[in-house]
Structure 1
Amino acid sequence: MSIRILTRSLLVATLVAGAPIAWSHGDVTPQPVDTGALPDLGKELRSENPFRVGNEHGSLNEEAIKVGRSGYAGNCAVCHGIEAMSGGLTPDLRELEEWDDEYFIGRVTNGTGRGMPSFRENLDQTAIWAIRTYVESLPKPE
């Protein structure tokens, strides 16, 4: 009987100790994003979302939302939740109003140093801004 309790205790301890590894961002494999008809925005990082209505490529806002939805699902949802509704372990991206565009692009391209990886090598600027456009299109939490 005591071997059974010891075995269960060891199993629980292993699961608890391994949980941070299982939930860490570092194990997420970034997925390519098909940017479709959106223009290639080049390598030099922009400081403002070009797909926001009223900006340089604002006429492509709806297309950017579609591309961003797909890009978000493959690269962000695993940590930040479906439709950016976080379960509490990571920021709810719908509520990050203090994140201006320049801060956002820096955070995504450089990572956070606290779990979020850099997407610099995996997502081009067009995909990143499309994801931002998608998140901005989501209703704010009540």
Structure 2
Amino acid sequence: MTTSFSVKTLFAAALFGMAGLVMAHGNVTPQPVDTGDLPDLGTEPLAENPFREGSSKGDLNAQAVAIGESGYAGNCAGCHGIQAMSGGLTPDLRELSPWDDEYFIGRVMNGTDRGMPSFKSNLGQTAIWAIRTYVESLPAPE
């Protein structure tokens, strides 16, 4: 009976340990994003995505989508899923609506107390908005 109890206890402890690993971001190392010919947007957070069609730099939308796709793959997909299709542990970024721009830039630049790292010292605002533009180009979840 002691052996059975020990195996069950060990198994339960292993499950709890693995759950902790799944819930944590671990060591996230931001990857640089080559923003190509997109303009440098500076460090003061913008309130709206400048690369969205119809915005001030909307003519750069297609270029921002391509750059954002690469930036997303290197910095976001590990936690938020390929093509922003979250597995449920992190927010599905395709569900962010266009009026959430200030919330988005604040979260990405400052991180969260739930484990998302701050990207403001590693990714420029141009790269962050390009990533947002890429996410906006994806089809909404069904």
Matches for 1:87-126 after TM superposition, within 5 Å: 87-97=87-97, 100-126=100-126
Structure 2 gaps, min length 5: none
Instruction: Choose 105-114 or 95-104, whichever is displaced more.
Output: 95-104
- Does the aligned pair in 1 maintain the 2:68–2:133 contact within 8 Å? yes
What do residues 28-83 of structure 1 show as CA deviations (whole Å, max 9, x unaligned)?
21111111111111111111111011111111100000010011111111111100
Aligned equivalents of 1:20, 1:26: Cα separation in 2: 10
What do residues 71-99 of structure 1 show as CA deviations (whole Å, max 9, x unaligned)?
11111111111000011111111112286
Cα 1:96/1:71, change in 2 over 3 Å:
same
Aligned equivalents of 1:109, 1:12: Cα separation in 2: 38
**Residue equivalent to 2:131:** 131
TM-score when scaled to structure 1?
0.88
- Percentage identity across aligned positions? 68
Quick one: which amino acid aligns to residue 73 of structure 1?
A
TM-score when scaled to structure 2?
0.88
- Does the aligned pair in 2 maintain the 1:26–1:116 contact within 8 Å? no
How many residues are matched?
Answer: 142
**Residue equivalent to 1:67:** 67
Aligned equivalents of 1:105, 1:28: Cα separation in 2: 18
